[in-house]
Chain A
């Protein structure tokens, strides 16, 4: 405290003392709301921790070389190697097919939105449609792939699954590519054009090359999303307990394996589902971390 004779507080009832606390009602409201907000935040954090804990506790004990490299064993067979290597391979195959389709379309759409007629009506219409596309439930996309591929080819296949996943990836790739390209300063495009390069050269040699880390991040995010999808695969790729035999045959995937085996009455299949979850979540977290690293590199440079 400053040791000085304080001037007397004027005898004015309208002047409140600064040190007095707020009315009790307002104090209770402040404390109550703060406690509530923290409680809700804790509630929001709880599920993730609980889920990760459950996966690790139930899945890790069975995670070994055998489960990673073997086929699922028939129920009730003792002493046979039990695993889900076929499902891992199937997921990779279908995500690969989806990437092959969605990356060119997404990249080109992103280029269109950012480099060609950015403010035109056509561009905003396409941007709007692409945004709407991100909101379509994945199960509807599965229904669409079922109608377009399964019904016409007459069978469940990796191609149908990959096609469904590609439609889920497409808008993500397109919109993140657009964002990444827009971060490249206009001055770079002008410098390139002033040196006599045409639009193709400017776009690929300068703009896309500069934005490549951002585009990669977008593609990785889309891949992570596709790898975890189940609904579009259940009735397009179906499932199989064997190795994938061809692109036009039913193909297993990690996510459908988890679905099927989690609903199974046999505890050894339940356990396998947990272990497959460890692999799937690690795969997705790995891709997410990878994309974060790529993003960090852009910020640094």
Chain B
């Protein structure tokens, strides 16, 4: 276990929280919008779950989505790769543009969309097949690849998810034999293998122990160089540690999720505009 690494994160994050506000206030002008969300509402049947969300997710940045449970943050993130359509009867209103293309366009090929916007789920969900086959799965369904190409893709994905050293000798073993944290990093590797432009993470650490969580947070920092990441988390320290931007969702008696505030993480955590956001953050930290 590399304990120094954790020190590094803690050292890196906490001092920066103070002065990051200055950085990110000037940042937006250079940033590219990966995902432009305008007035997005989600319905389960007739019931509205998320109401009219408008925000941008910037390329190469980590955007954290926080809020109490039931505030629609999971529904919101699952609307972006339209995976919720498989779970229930959902309906979306509004526009979400992925690099200028409306993802709710009738002509959108969902498989292409999901290949470009990958997802890591709350509980690690590796397939009950070998580690290698798990990572190769996405590449194989996208089309035939030669054996050597496949090996190369699998290795680079596993390296990218910082799990290569742990599994390189056991690639043919069942993925179910890995620990929870390893399984989750395998799922990240599996998502990376199809070379997505963006990665959605739905509370990826909620089922993991602190050390495994730390490893994943560390991993996120290396992934940001090539990827746009949106991460849902109920752990606010995690949001403050890993993200550049934070969106705070909440709900009232109507039980309809709303975006309360969106901005640079440092600003949200130190100087939120909305009193609700301030209360929530203070409540959790205090």
Contacts and interface: CB of A to CB of B under 8 A. Distances in A.
A195 B114 contact: yes
B159 interface: no
Interface string B90-130: 00000000000000000000111111001101010111110
Contacts of A186: 87
B45 to A, nearest CB: 12
A43 B142 CA distance: 61
Contacts of A189: 86
B125 A196 contact: no
Contacts of B190: 191, 195
Given A186-B87, A205-B141, A210-B128, A195 B123 contact: no
A192 interface: yes
A198 B141 CA distance: 8
Chain A, interface size: which category? 20 to 34
B280 interface: no
A301 interface: yes
A192 B115 CA distance: 10
B160 interface: no
A185 B123 CA distance: 12
A286 interface: no
Contacts of B86: 189-190, 193
A195 B194 contact: yes
B87 to A, nearest CB: 7
Nearest to B137: A195
Contacts of A195: 114-115, 118, 137-138, 141, 190-191, 194
A185 B190 CA distance: 18
Contacts of B137: 192, 195, 197, 205
A194 interface: yes
B127 A210 contact: yes
Given A190-B125, A205-B137, A196 B87 contact: no
By CB atoms of chain A within 10 A, which of B121, B125, B129, B142 has the most?
Answer: B125
B242 interface: no
- Of residues A191, A201, A206, which shows the largest number of chain B Cβ atoms within 10 Å of its Cβ? A191
Interface of B: 81, 83, 86-87, 110-115, 118-119, 121, 123, 125-129, 137-138, 141-142, 176, 187, 190-191, 194
11 contacts: A185-B125, A187-B121, A187-B123, A189-B86, A191-B125, A193-B83, A195-B190, A196-B114, A198-B110, A301-B128, A301-B176
Interface of A: 185-198, 201, 205-206, 209-210, 301
Which 9 residue pairs are nearest across A and B when measured between Cβ atoms? A196-B115, A195-B138, A197-B141, A194-B119, A187-B125, A196-B111, A191-B125, A196-B114, A201-B141
Given A189-B86, A190-B87, A192-B141, 19 more contacts: A190-B83, A191-B187, A191-B190, A193-B83, A193-B86, A193-B110, A194-B118, A194-B121, A195-B114, A195-B118, A195-B137, A195-B138, A195-B141, A195-B190, A195-B191, A195-B194, A196-B112, A196-B113, A301-B128
